[in-house]
Amino acid sequence: MSWRRQSILSAGQFSARDLEEILNLSGKLETALKNSRNLKLLDDYVLATLFFEPSTRTRLSFEAAMHRLGGRVISAVGMQFSSLAKGETLFDTLKMVESYSDICAIRHSVEGASSLAARSIRIPVINAGDGAGEHPTQGLLDLYTIHRRGYLERPQMTVAFIGDIKYGRTIHSLVQLLSHFKVNLVFISPRELSLPEKYHDLLKRAGVSYSETEDISALREAHVGYVTRIQEERFIDHREYEKFKDAYVVDAELVGQCRKDLIVMHPLPRLTEVSTDLDAHPSAVYFEQANNGLYVRMALILGLLDINY
Amino acid sequence: MSWRRQSILSAGQFSARDLEEILNLSGKLETALKNSRNLKLLDDYVLATLFFEPSTRTRLSFEAAMHRLGGRVISAVGMQFSSLAKGETLFDTLKMVESYSDICAIRHSVEGASSLAARSIRIPVINAGDGAGEHPTQGLLDLYTIHRRGYLERPQMTVAFIGDIKYGRTIHSLVQLLSHFKVNLVFISPRELSLPEKYHDLLKRAGVSYSETEDISALREAHVGYVTRIQEERFIDHREYEKFKDAYVVDAELVGQCRKDLIVMHPLPRLTEVSTDLDAHPSAVYFEQANNGLYVRMALILGLLDINY
Amino acid sequence: MSWRRQSILSAGQFSARDLEEILNLSGKLETALKNSRNLKLLDDYVLATLFFEPSTRTRLSFEAAMHRLGGRVISAVGMQFSSLAKGETLFDTLKMVESYSDICAIRHSVEGASSLAARSIRIPVINAGDGAGEHPTQGLLDLYTIHRRGYLERPQMTVAFIGDIKYGRTIHSLVQLLSHFKVNLVFISPRELSLPEKYHDLLKRAGVSYSETEDISALREAHVGYVTRIQEERFIDHREYEKFKDAYVVDAELVGQCRKDLIVMHPLPRLTEVSTDLDAHPSAVYFEQANNGLYVRMALILGLLDINY
């Protein structure tokens, strides 16, 4: 079953062929946008962005994608202030929105909220982040960024993940997607924040070669460095947080010791884990990465609505 | 004077002929939407949704209605956080919005806010709920739902209202609308939450036959059961609330004792007063009812802007 | 260098010729809107309104301007609740929004935020108010209002500013713009809230004749009275605030003692400093002034995107 006309709930749902299609379609849309600000493919369609948990960046990315396709948007943010505060269930809210829109993107603080949504309503649902669960569209735009730089097709390519490997849902999504490709993975993190067991299993089943280390100098061998924030709220002991926060920082000095063709990625927003002294460095692709979200989300919306392009 | 080009402030403003027109126009629009997602009737028009009190469901319904007509939307939600917090009067806000839009839908916690708005500005105003006052568009979509099921035209048709008859503004709106039709009404509620005097007067003047009871088994004779939530904040004594909350619940078991052709309505969102075990039951029309809000609000927007269809 | 294709950061950036162009273009757009609700000049463009500090009125004005030009809008309000709360810098947010939109309007509580934005991203930035800094589009719509009434071209024309001359950023913007024209200025305020030194310097350099007084009766000689609110938070001593608040009130009685052709302006929202008994008086132009914001902001958006009209 193709990814088209489905819901997008997890990075684990895609086949290698699905990913190839999504990467190709994203690339075609990126090219098309160079010649036109509005592709006018979805004049009659309405996207609902339902953000029970706020995330301005992700929401605006979906909404811009819909506008660049010629579509329309209705939006609800921070519904904890509204009827949900009165005890309404997510299910009832979704049933009401179902007839108002043709496709919806949902962000919710509870893992599994998007899956519940997809089972409840007839229109396609895109998981725009569900708690500690997944954030598959972020994973896809990360993959597109690696592909767009020509790295996905390289032999012997190494991706290093740095930071919170345990809780970082964008890492979890990207690891699942990369398992379809011939890559080496290196996970660099404090032991307390290392890769969960289920991803060990997944990588072994997929035959992906990978290693784990606490030493950030392992970045030196990597083609791609994917940095994430170590979140203070994960630690009971504040001093532990301070220690790790300062240890896993990627800056111009460290990048100077790495491969010349290293690219540094970050899902943004960042705190101090990627130094601003890297922003103008050719290795820094995190702003390009954020921009790529536009093309990938356009591709996903088109595909789910089964519009050919 | 026709309802067209006016403001919509109260369910009491409509004549029987107005209602016939609105029901017909809503039906035409529902049919048209089956063939087209965007009717492109209002390409040049802007709707302002001004929700001083949040209500995601109602706001999205108005905004989707405008988009499906081809129009545009500007929106302000929770203005207590903005300039109103600085002491600005509703009047000044409205004067500013007046030139930015062609029609506006207003929700406010204070009864009469929409009437004040309609007197203050030249564009049509739709009351999207004003405190303990009215919610006429909900009443109209409820009426459309009964009509759409063919029940409004039945002889000897009985509508049972269950729950908070005293404060339920959607009930007050629907009772006024139903008084133009040949129906019997049954009000089922704890005595403390029974029908206010002014609606007794209205029903007597209109010659509508009705009765009141505390016994939920009166639902057995009804063709339509309209359930509303009993709100905790109406009770000083929490135990009283708990007692009533559990007594007025419509579930599959109760519906099994009722007429086979009973339809169960609810303005949503619900808590426990309509059991989820009813959701898949043929009697449950409350999701259909929510969807009908789209067609009715499209009809109202078109009519107020005096666009023929 | 013309104002077109630039960012709009300060009222001080405009030449006399720029202002003439903006006033003319605003006038053409006002006329065009009498014949068409949607000028369809920006079908393919997206405006991002980024309001880190809420201001419903200003935001809706920008969004309506974009819609009336045929454009599209993405919007983020109160981002303190979202990713900024996680420590994200303004810079990272802007880089992400840069590729989602073609132009953006920014409101921020910190002076200089818009200038930082304009340096960070490639798309034009409009300062929609930055803390105690500037609010140049308000200044331009104020200037347009004076022009539209034919007063800017009058010989010997006097503009009186009343209220908080020290902190009122709309006054600071308008004073800078008026310094390009042949006008007399009178500043009426408590000494504690009088004109800052830098504007004395500016007016002297520009050769503008002006005077200062604490006496509100100086309004009698003015053609234009520009009233602003005296904000309670400016005073340590609450009794001082109460005294000034009551002393600088413009009402129908005071206007009755002034020139017959006096026009009273106010950036809105007001508290008590302009009495509501003036609302229906021919001198009251503050609602017209608010409406003019639409035409001026349309002109600015068109100019920054370098669309000819």
Mean pLDDT, residues B134-155: 96
First-to-last C-alpha distance (Å) of chain A: 19
Of C48, C74, C96, the CB nearest to A290: C96
Contact A74 B64 (CB under 8 A): yes
Does residue A30 contact residue A297 with C-beta atoms inside 8 Å? no
Nearest residue to A139 via CA among A115, A122, A161: A161
- Amino acid letter at C14? F
Does residue C227 contact residue C115 with C-beta atoms inside 8 Å? no
pLDDT score, position B81? 46
Alpha-carbon distance B99 to C292, whole Å? 9
Contact B64 A98 (CB under 8 A): no
Please return the burial class of B43, using the count of CB atoms within 10 Å of its CB with bins 0-12, 13-18 and 19+.
middle
Of C36, C37, C57, the CB nearest to B96: C57
Does residue C204 contact residue C185 with C-beta atoms inside 8 Å? no
- Confidence tier at A81 by pLDDT (50, 70, 90): very low
Count H helices and E strands in chain B, helices first.
Answer: 10, 9
Alpha-carbon distance B278 to B219, whole Å? 15
Given a cut of 90, whether residue B223 has pLDDT beyond it is yes
- Confidence tier at C1 by pLDDT (50, 70, 90): low
Residues of C whose CB is below 8 A from A276? 91
Sequence-ordered list of residues with C-beta below 8 angstroms from that of B35, at least 6 positions apart, any chain? none
- In the block, which residue shows the tokens 């329309």? A72
pLDDT score, position A84? 53
What are the distances in angstroms from CA B246 to CA A88, B229, B239, B250, B255?
17, 11, 11, 10, 16
B121, closest residue in chain C (CA to CA): C287
pLDDT score, position B90? 79
CATH number of A11-135+292-304: 3.40.50.1370
Name the residue ranges covered by the structural domains of chain C.
11-134+293-304, 150-284
Does residue A154 contact residue A223 with C-beta atoms inside 8 Å? yes
Mean pLDDT, residues C4-17: 95
Half-sphere exposure of A109 (CA within 13 A, CB side): 7
Residues of A whose CB is below 8 A from B287? 95-96, 98
First-to-last C-alpha distance (Å) of chain C: 19
Of B37, B56, B67, the CB nearest to A76: B56
Nearest residue to B74 via CA among C123, C57, A62: C57
The pair of structure tokens assigned to B140 is 């109209």
Does residue A136 contact residue A114 with C-beta atoms inside 8 Å? no
Given a cut of 90, whether residue B270 has pLDDT beyond it is no
Output b/e per residue, C86-108; b: 16+ Cβ within 10 A.
eebebbbbbbbbbbbbbbbbbbb
Q: Rounded to the nearest 5 degrees, what angle is found at the Cα of B241, between the Cα atoms of B238 and B244?
A: 155
Residues of B near C (CB-CB distance < 8 A)?
43-46, 48, 72, 74, 76, 79, 81-83, 86-89, 91-93, 95-102
The pair of structure tokens assigned to C263 is 């026009």
Given a cut of 70, whether residue B1 has pLDDT beyond it is no
Name all chains with 3 or more CB-CB pairs below 8 Å to chain C: A, B
B87, closest residue in chain C (CA to CA): C271
- Confidence tier at C81 by pLDDT (50, 70, 90): very low
Which homologous superfamily is B11-134+293-304 in? Aspartate/ornithine carbamoyltransferase (3.40.50.1370)
Mapped onto helix, strand or coil, the DSSP state of residue C44 is coil
Nearest residue to A138 via CA among A260, A286, A261, A18: A286
Contact C290 B96 (CB under 8 A): yes
Alpha-carbon distance A169 to A291, whole Å? 20
Mean pLDDT, residues A85-98: 74
Output b/e per residue, A278-307; b: 16+ Cβ within 10 A.
beeeebbbbbebbbbbbbbbbbbbbbbbee
Alpha-carbon distance C148 to C161, whole Å? 19
Q: What digits encode the pLDDT tens for the residues A15-73? A: 999 999 999 999 999 999 999 999 999 999 999 999 988 888 899 999 999 999 999 99
Half-sphere exposure of B282 (CA within 13 A, CB side): 7
Does residue C294 contact residue C266 with C-beta atoms inside 8 Å? no
Q: What digits encode the pLDDT tens for the residues C184-239? A: 999 999 998 999 999 999 999 999 999 999 999 999 999 999 999 888 777 778 88
Residues of C whose CB is below 8 A from B91? 276
Rounded to two decimals, the ipTM of the complex is 0.92
Contact B56 A79 (CB under 8 A): yes
Residues of C near B (CB-CB distance < 8 A)?
36-38, 54-57, 59-61, 63-64, 67-68, 73, 78, 268-271, 276, 287, 290-291, 294
Nearest residue to C59 via CA among B4, B50, B162: B50
Contact A82 B55 (CB under 8 A): yes
Given a cut of 80, whether residue A86 has pLDDT beyond it is no
- In the block, which residue shows the tokens 């767009």? A148
Q: Which fold has domain A150-284?
A: Rossmann fold (3.40.50)
Does residue C127 contact residue C297 with C-beta atoms inside 8 Å? no
pLDDT score, position A281? 96
DSSP A155: T
Separation in Å, CA of C60 to nearest CA in chain B: 7
Q: Is the peptide bond before B54 cis (omega within 30 degrees of 0)?
A: no
Mapped onto helix, strand or coil, the DSSP state of residue B264 is strand
Alpha-carbon distance B72 to B67, whole Å? 6
pTM of the model: 0.94
Residues of B whose CB is below 8 A from A86? 269, 271
Q: How many residues does chain A have?
A: 309
Mean pLDDT, residues C39-45: 95
Alpha-carbon distance A174 to A156, whole Å? 18
- In the block, which residue shows the tokens 């908070």? B164
Given a cut of 70, whether residue C85 has pLDDT beyond it is no
Residues of B near A (CB-CB distance < 8 A)?
36-38, 54-57, 59-61, 63-64, 67-68, 73, 78, 268-271, 276, 287, 290-291, 294
Mean pLDDT, residues C291-308: 97
Contact A99 B54 (CB under 8 A): no
Dihedral in degrees, nearest 10, Cα atoms C37, C42, C44, C46: -90
pLDDT score, position B83? 52
C232, closest residue in chain B (CA to CA): B86
Contact C99 A60 (CB under 8 A): no
